[in-house]
Structure 1
Amino acid sequence: MSAPEPVEYQARAIEKMADALVALASIDQEQDRLVVLKAPTGSGKTFMVAAALSTAYDDPTGHPFIVLWLTPGKGNLHKQSAKALSSLLVGTSLQVRLLDDQDDIVRHQDPAPGSVFVVNWEKLRMEKDGKWANKMLADGENATLFTLLAAASAKGLDMIAVVDESHLSLQAPRTSKLMRAIQEKRPYIQLELSATPTAQPDPDLLTEGVHHWIRVKFEDVEAEGMVRKSVLLNEDLPAVMAVHSKDSLQFQVLWAAWEKVEALTAAYVAAGSPVRPLLLVQYPDGEKAEQLAEIVEKFLAQRGLVKDKTFATWLSGDHSDDLESISLYTSPYRALIFKQAIATGWDCPRAQVLVQFRDPKSPIFQIQTLGRILRSPEQKRYDDESLNLAYVFSDLEGVTVSIETDEPDAKVRDMTIKRTNAYPTGGLKLSSTFQPRTREFHYPMTGNLTKPLINALDTKVAPLLTSEPFTSTPASVIVDAAIATKVLDAGAGHEMKGGSATGELDDVIVQALYNRLLVARIGAYRSRAQSLSRIKKVITSWFKTQRPTWTTDEVQHFALRHQGAFMEAVDQACVASRAVEEAAAIAEARGKRRTTHEWEVPSSELVVSKDCEVAGKGFLFEPALVPTDRSNPEKRFEAYLAKQVADGVVKWWWKNGEQDEKYLGVVYDRPIDSNSAGEDAQAGTAPSTEERTTYPDYLVYCSNDVVWAIEVKDVDDKDGATNGVTHAKARGLARWASDMASLRPSQEALIKFADMRAGVVVPTEQATRVISVKVGDPSNWHKPDAANLASDRGWSTLDLVAGSRASTEEN
Structure 2
Amino acid sequence: MILKQYQKDIIEDLTRYLEILQKTKNISESFNEFWRLHPRTPLTPFPGEIVEPYKNNVAGVPHVCLKVPTAGGKTFIAANALRPIFSIFPQDHAKTVVWLVPSNSILEQTIRNFSNPEHPYREQLNADFGNRVEVYDKTALLQGAGFNASSVKENLSLCILSFDSLRSRNKDNRNAYKENGNLLSFAESGDEEISLMKVFQHLNPVIVVDESHNAESELSVDMLKQLNPSFILDLTATPRKNSNIISFTSAFELKKESMVKLPVIVYNHQSKDEVVNSALELRARLERAAFDAQNQGGAPIRPIVLFQAEPKTKEDNATFDKIKAMLIEKGIKENEIKIKTADKNELAGLDLMSSDCEVRYIITVNALKEGWDCPYAYILASLADKNSAVDVEQILGRVLRLPYTRKNPNPMLNMSYVLTASNKFLDTVQNVVEGLNRAGFSGKDYRIADTQVI
* 1:20/1:321 CA distance change after superposition, 3 Å: closer
Matches within 5 A, 1:280-295: 280-285=306-311, 287-288=313-314, 291-293=317-319
Distance in 2 (CA, whole Å) between partners of 1:108 and 1:258 is 52
Indicate if the aligned counterparts of 2:388 and 2:423 stay in contact, CA closer than 8 A: no
| 1:330 Cα deviation from its structure 2 partner | 3.0
SS of the residue 2:273 aligns to: helix
Report SS of the residue matched to 1:325.
Answer: coil
CA distance in 1, matches of 2:351, 2:2: 27
Higher alpha-carbon deviation: 212-221 or 69-78: 69-78
In the TM superposition, what is the alpha-carbon distance from 1:277 to its structure 2 partner?
0.3
Q: Flag the structure with higher strand content.
A: 1
**Partners in 2 of 1:113 and 1:216 — Cα distance?**
35
Structure 1 gaps of 5+ residues are 154-158, 202-210, 242-247, 418-603, 605-811
Q: 1:282, 1:338 within 8 Å by CA — same for their partners in 2? A: yes
Task: Give the counterpart of 1:144 among 179, 184, 195.
Answer: 195
Evaluate the alpha carbon distance shift between residue 221 and residue 322 of structure 1 in structure 2; reply closer, same or farther with a 3 A threshold: same
1:82 alignment counterpart: 114
In structure 1, which of residues 66, 71, 96 is the aligned counterpart of residue 133 of structure 2?
96
Aligned to 2:186: none
Q: What is the aligned partner in structure 2 of residue 261 from structure 1?
A: 283
Q: Distance in 2 between matches of 1:361 and 1:381?
A: 37
Are 1:353 and 2:379 counterparts?
A: yes
Task: List aligned pairs for 1:719-798, cutoff 5 A.
Answer: none
CA distance 1:267–1:288, change in 2 (3 Å): farther
* 1:77-226 equivalent positions in 2, closer than 5 A: 77-80=109-112, 82-83=114-115, 85-93=121-129, 95-99=132-136, 100=138, 101-104=141-144, 107-109=147-149, 111-112=152-153, 115-122=156-163, 124-125=165-166, 127=168, 130-139=170-179, 142-152=193-203, 159-168=205-214, 170-182=215-227, 186-201=228-243, 211-226=244-259
| Residue 312 (structure 1) shift | 1.7
Q: Percent identity?
A: 21
SS at match of 1:330: coil
Are 2:264 and 2:415, in contact at CA under 8 Å, matched by a contact in 1?
Answer: yes
Deviates more, 1:29-38 or 1:216-225: 29-38
State yes or no: 1:6 paired with 2:3.
yes
- Report the CA distance between 1:62 and its aligned residue: 10
Cα distance in 2, alignment partners of residues 164 and 60 from structure 1: 22
User: Structure 1 residue 409 and structure 2 residue 437: aligned?
Assistant: no
Distance, in Å, in 1 between the alignment partners of 2:144 and 2:423 is: 55
Once the two structures are TM-superposed, the CA of residue 316 in structure 1 deviates from its matched residue by 4.8
Shift of the alpha carbon at 1:79?
2.1
Unaligned runs of 5+ in 2: 28-58, 182-192
Q: Please tell me whether the aligned partners of residues 311 and 365 of structure 2 are also in contact (alpha carbons under 8 angstroms).
A: yes
Superposition deviation, residue 292 in structure 1: 1.5
Q: Is the 8 A contact 1:326 1:348 kept in 2?
A: yes
Distance 1:62 1:374 in 2: 41
Aligned to 2:333: 306
Amino acid at match of 1:163: V
Closer/same/farther in 2, CA of residues 120 and 382 from structure 1, 3 Å limit: same
Report how far residue 342 of structure 1 moved: 1.4
Alpha-carbon distance in structure 2 between the residues aligned to 1:105 and 1:174: 29
Residues 735-784 of structure 1: per-residue CA shift (max 9 Å, x gap): xxxxxxxxxxxxxxxxxxxxxxxxxxxxxxxxxxxxxxxxxxxxxxxxxx
Q: Residue type matched to 1:230 in 2?
A: P
Offset, 1:275: 0.9
| 1:228 and 2:261 matched | yes
For 1:40 and 1:77, locate their aligned partners in 2 and report how far apart those are by CA, in whole Å.
Answer: 19
Question: C-alpha distance in 2, partners of 1:162/1:322?
Answer: 25
Give the match for residue 292 of structure 2.
270
Note if contact 1:22-1:62 (Cα within 8 Å) is conserved in structure 2: no
Q: Is the CA contact (8 Å cut-off) linking 1:68 and 1:119 kept in structure 2?
A: yes
Preserved CA contact (<8 Å) 1:19 1:56: no
| Distance in 2 separating the partners of 1:314 and 1:161 | 29
| Correspondence list, 1:382-461, <5 A | 382-397=408-423, 399-401=425-427, 402-403=430-431, 404-405=434-435, 406-409=438-441, 412-415=445-448
- 1:34 corresponds to which residue? 63
Q: CA deviation at 1:392?
A: 0.5
1:40-79 matches, within 5 Å, as 40-58=69-87, 66=95, 67-74=97-104, 76-79=108-111
In structure 2, relative to structure 1, the CA distance for the partners of 1:257 and 1:173 (3 Å cut) is same
1:376 to 392, 398, 402: 402
Q: Whose helix fraction is larger, Structure 1's or Structure 2's?
A: 2
Report how far residue 37 of structure 1 moved: 0.8
Q: CA deviation at 1:363?
A: 4.9
For 2:364 and 2:402, locate their aligned partners in 1 and report how far apart those are by CA, in whole Å.
22
Q: CA RMSD in A?
A: 3.4
> Structure 1's 52 and 340: CA in aligned 2 closer, same or farther, altered over 3 A?
closer
- Deviation per residue, 1:202-251 (Å, 9 max, x gap): xxxxxxxxx443122122112111221221111xx5xxx6xxxxxx6111
User: Which amino acid is the alignment partner of residue 144 of structure 1?
Assistant: S
Distance 2:338 2:171 in 1: 40
Measure, in 2, the Cα distance between the counterparts of 1:289 and 1:199.
42
Residue identity in the other structure for 2:273? F
Which residue of 2 is the match for residue 633 of structure 1? none
| SS at structure 2 position matched to 1:136 | helix
Q: Distance in 2 between matches of 1:134 and 1:173?
A: 18
Contact 1:34 1:190 in 2 (8 A): yes
Q: Contact 1:280 / 1:351 at 8 angstroms: preserved in 2?
A: yes
**CA 112–369 in structure 1, closer or farther in 2 if over 3 Å, else same:** same
With 343-352 and 111-120 compared, the bigger mean Cα shift is at: 111-120
Measured against aligned partners, the alpha-carbon deviations of 1:523-574 in whole angstroms (never above 9, x if no partner) come to xxxxxxxxxxxxxxxxxxxxxxxxxxxxxxxxxxxxxxxxxxxxxxxxxxxx
Q: TM-score, normalised by structure 2?
A: 0.73
8 Å Cα contact 1:254-1:355 kept in structure 2: yes
Distance 2:322 2:164 in 1: 38
Report if aligned partners of 1:36, 1:192 keep a CA contact under 8 Å in 2: yes
Residue type matched to 2:306 in 1? L
Cα distance change of structure 1 residues 172 and 408 upon mapping to structure 2, 3 Å threshold = same
Quick check: 1:137–1:146 contact (8 Å CA) kept in 2? yes
SS of alignment partner, residue 75 of structure 2 = helix
Query: Superposition pairs for residues 582-661 of structure 1, below 5 Å?
Result: none
Amino acid at match of 2:148: H
Q: Which residue of 1 aligns with 2:56?
A: none
Deviation readout 1:566-612 (Å, 9 max, x if unpaired) = xxxxxxxxxxxxxxxxxxxxxxxxxxxxxxxxxxxxxx9xxxxxxxx
TM-score, normalization: structure 1?
A: 0.43
**Distance (whole Å) between structure 2 residues aligned to residue 93 and residue 190 of structure 1:** 20
Partners of 2:382 and 2:390 in 1: CA distance = 13
Give 1:16's aligned residue: 13
Distance in 2 separating the partners of 1:196 and 1:125: 23
